[in-house]
Amino acid sequence: MTEISDQTGSPQPSDLLPVTIEEEMRSSYLAYAMSVIVSRALPDVRDGLKPVHRRILYAMHESGFTHDKPYRKSARAVGEVMGKYHPHGDSSIYEAMVRMAQSWSMRVKLIDGQGNFGSVDGDSPAAMRYTEARLAKASTFLLGDIDRDTVDFQPNYDESESEPTVLPAAFPNLLINGATGIAVGMATNIPTHNPGEVVDATLALIARPDMTLEELMEIVPGPDFPTGGTILGRSGIRSAFATGRGSVIIRAKAEIEEIRKDRKAIVVTEIPYQVNKATLQERIADLVRSKQVEGIADIRDESDRSGMRVVIEIKRDATPEVVLNQLYRFTQLQTSFGVNMLALDGGKPRLMGLKDVLEAFIAFREEVILRRSRHDLNKARDRAHILVGLVIAVANIDAVIALIRAAPDAATAREALMAAQWDAADVEPLLALIHDEGNVVVDGKVRLTEAQARGILELRLQRLTGLERDKIQSELSEVAVRINELLEIISSRPRRMEVLCEELSRARAELVTPRVTDITDYDGDQDDESLIEPGQMVVTITREGFIKRTPLDVFRAQNRGGRGRTGAGTRGDDIVVRSFNAHTHQWVMFFSSGGKVYRQKVWRLPEAGPAAKGRALVNLLPDLGTDTITAVLPLPQDEELWESLHLIFATASGGVRRNRLSDFRNIRVSGMIAMKLDEGDSLIGVATCREGQDVFLATRKARCIRFQITDDTVRVFAGRGSSGVRGIRLAEGDRVISLAVLNHVEATVEERAAYLRMANAKRRAENAADTEDDAETPVVDTDEDEAATGTEALTPERFAQLEAAEEVLLIVSDGGFGRRSSAYDYRVSGRGGQGITNMTFSANKRGTEVAATLPVLPGTDVMLVTDAGRLIRVPVDQVRIMARQASGVTLLRLNDAERITSVFPVMDDGEDDAGEAEDAANSAPQPPTDGAGSAL
């Protein structure tokens, strides 16, 4: 052979060949990877065991450490495994052995341990020299018939012993006890299942091989973990059973108990699989210290040998349900088990579903029964063959004795027995019965085989008695029956399936236990709302668009005359323009001038203290852009009430539209279009309404209209894509600036006129003389239905009725003048008209347009803002109530060219008593927009 030289020119031995480092690394790594996959990390689908577990069980079986024998030192079993079968460290063997003895790790224990084998708290087991162990009874079904040629054997690591390549498992151990392992480039994570359910599913699949997954899941609804708990949802289970991969959410079992008067506690009795109880308690303590979870007063472990009991004591002012939901979210009281059913099938890794695993087990178990039957058949035939020889000897006993006595030694006697021809009259039917082809009958004579001759020579004299001769015949008959049974099993698959079902039923009787893990329906991830403590909040919005929520109990009640406290922090001329009370779980709707609607739960609004400024709405509502928020509507917490409520929309061009509130039940986080607007138009207001109430629209050019909400005037629109119908016909250059919903009062023209006359007289009698600035501008109403002033006075009862139902509007002009007017001064007409006069602009008073028209309540204040940035706060009680066409009184003295741009009601600013502020927030009107239609 030609020598090979290296790069230096030196000759190399002729038996060496050069290889590239890439090729060598690839082949070596693949060899290492397959060794880890096959020989260490992945279980076999047939017996559900990894090599180390299989070797432990087999070594203990061979050493006689069975369930019916006394316990033996664990170190003795580990030494047997390490010395004969598993060439690894004793610690890894002992760890695997300990796990098979832990009731919280295995659904069915395979090792019966005595001593400290660890705990669910993660405590380490005692050293193996202190603990004792033996095979559990369940292991009998894994190791049974292993000596009857049911499985293949292979040499051990030094070829001094033989070990089984797989155990002849009589039940689907892979599904029942699960497996966990990390190989090279792959991993397995198989959950445990209820043994009774798994065996029942196997029996059902044997009876009906075409069963669907849904039918199998009626028998095996899901995993059954030894530590109990609750599985949330079934979609993850179905995915795992169908494809071999899925995610199962496991939640601890916890109950809320009253441990003493006015004190409740969360009592945890079961935790998710593979969760360390001690680590879980440490995590809860860390969350309490970091104040991520509040409301926990104490945590203690009251677990004992009777069961698990972790008590989490709740503070008096906390809600146990909320605390429990927070613990589910932030601790391992709720975990996710990633199912990855990867196992070795035919020596190759395979991802299998539920039906695949059961089918592989059935095929393996059928092979075990077939091999065992063949082995037993050979044994039975050998025994029957010997018994036939004994029958021949007994039938010819005198000749046999004479032949043996004449022989000088045993070998000669054996040869003589084999050479002689014996009468086959009695044995010929037996040979056909046992299917024995070892003896050939010729002319009624038969020769003995060597095995039969040896059996005759070993025959004891007592077997020649009559009773013993009968026993030989009886045993031969029994063996004949056994042979025929085995031949039937070997030749008939249905018969093998019957045997398989019988053996599965016997195993089930020993293994069956009640299910400990519950399965409940679950829609998806836990809602964040369940983590929020329920309570009342005060929501405030400033003129510059900052919003926040503050717990109502922060504003403590004060006696009358107190100094109060700051309700909202503002900057510069910013001021609170809207405030309302709402529950943390209540919805709030935000409408933009561009016709878009957003929806947020109150608890999602930024929480801040009384003096904090809050957060800008533009950062809270996505895609708001340059639009402004024109309406904020807190919705009823009871969503069933939404069916009876409607929304009324108004645009600057005079359009209105009515929709059911329930049409806006599903609003995306990014918002959605609430109303289709024409180019140049804008949404100026949205309000909730009911059938029969009145819509009031006011324009900048001092026109207004009031019409009742009915199906004839404003029908309910089915969709959100419509621009609605005309609410008021506008003059050139005019636009709607205000929307209000007023209560409809049934009163005739004469009754309204009489009420206004009597109410004016009452107010004149109560007030002092007017100043020159307070002089009312006399105006005669030119509307036909208002021309008849009426002469009859109302009865005191009727007057009181109308007075109780009276609503008051504030009208402010851009020139700084304003007045209040009774809503009775505005007649109810049809929709779509030009409306009636809302204010008259006199020559001697500044102002040419209406800046705002809004409902007001007695005792409230309004804020007037000018284009020069000046603000003035005016109590509405200081504004005279006048006729509808009056120009009003001076509210703010303006400089030249200065105009009022917006008017809005002033909410609690911190200077009033906190209790009074709460009442005002609950009862104050909620106008959808400010006077100019700009952002709140």
Enzyme catalytic residues: 130
**CA–CA separation, 243 and 353 (whole Å):** 5
Beta bridge partners of 257: 265
- Residue-wise DSSP of 150-212: -S-EEE-TTSSSEEESS---SS-HHHHH-EEEE-SS-EEEE----HHHHHHHHHHHHH-TT--
- For helices 493-511 and 466-491, the axis angle rounded to 10 degrees is 100
**CA–CA separation, 219 and 4 (whole Å):** 69
**Where does 236-333 show beta strands of DSSP type E?**
245-251, 253-260, 263-270, 296-301, 310-314
Beta bridge partners of 249: 232, 336
The enclosing H or E element of 473 equals: helix 466-491
Extract the tokens encoding 406: 């004449």
Q: What is the largest CA-CA distance in the chain?
A: 163
- CA–chain centroid gap for 762, Å, is 66
Sequence-separated (6 or more) residues with CB below 8 Å from residue 457: 404, 410, 413, 414, 417
**Where does 252-341 show beta strands of DSSP type E?**
253-260, 263-270, 296-301, 310-314, 334-340
Whether 792 contacts 754, CB under 8 Å: yes
* Residue listed under structure tokens 């037996």: 430
Extract the tokens encoding 468: 């013993």
Q: Find the angle CA(435)-CA(436)-CA(437) to the nearest 5 degrees.
A: 115
Give the dihedral of Cα atoms 74, 80, 82, 84; nearest 10 deg.
Answer: -170
Sign of the CA dihedral with 905 first, then 907, 911, and 913 last: positive
Give the dihedral of Cα atoms 319, 320, 322, 323; nearest 10 deg.
Answer: 120
CA neighbor of 71 nearest in space, from 102, 105, 124, 115:
115
Whether 117 contacts 98, CB under 8 Å: yes
The letter for the amino acid at 252 is: A
**CA–CA separation, 667 and 635 (whole Å):** 14
Helix and strand element counts for the chain (H, E): 23, 46
Q: How big is the chain, counted in residues?
A: 936
- Residue-wise DSSP of 416-446: HHHHS-EE-TTTHHHHHHTT--SS-EETTEE
Question: Is residue 876 helix, strand or coil?
Answer: helix
Residue 264: Cβ within 10 Å count: 20
CA neighbor of 661 nearest in space, from 676, 678, 674, 677:
674
Question: Is residue 97 helix, strand or coil?
Answer: helix
Question: Is residue 862 helix, strand or coil?
Answer: strand
- CA–chain centroid gap for 65, Å, is 45
**CA–CA separation, 24 and 87 (whole Å):** 26
**CA–CA separation, 45 and 179 (whole Å):** 10
